[in-house]
Amino acid sequence: MTLRLLALFGLLGLAACETIGGAGQDISSAGNAISNQAQETERELEDD
């Protein structure tokens, strides 16, 4: 019984780490997209 509980908690822990890692990548990608758009807008304003 104890071994099963430890295995279950281990799997839940791994799943949580994977979810947090994925969220971090999504946030990073969104930040990069915003930064790229801001740079593009800045270049357009400088050209005018």
pLDDT digits (tens, 9 = 90+) for 1-48: 788 888 888 888 777 777 777 778 888 989 999 999 999 999 999 987
How is the chain split into domains, by residue range? Answer: 1-48
Which amino acid appears at position 9 of this protein? F
pLDDT for 27 equals: 86
pLDDT for 2 equals: 86
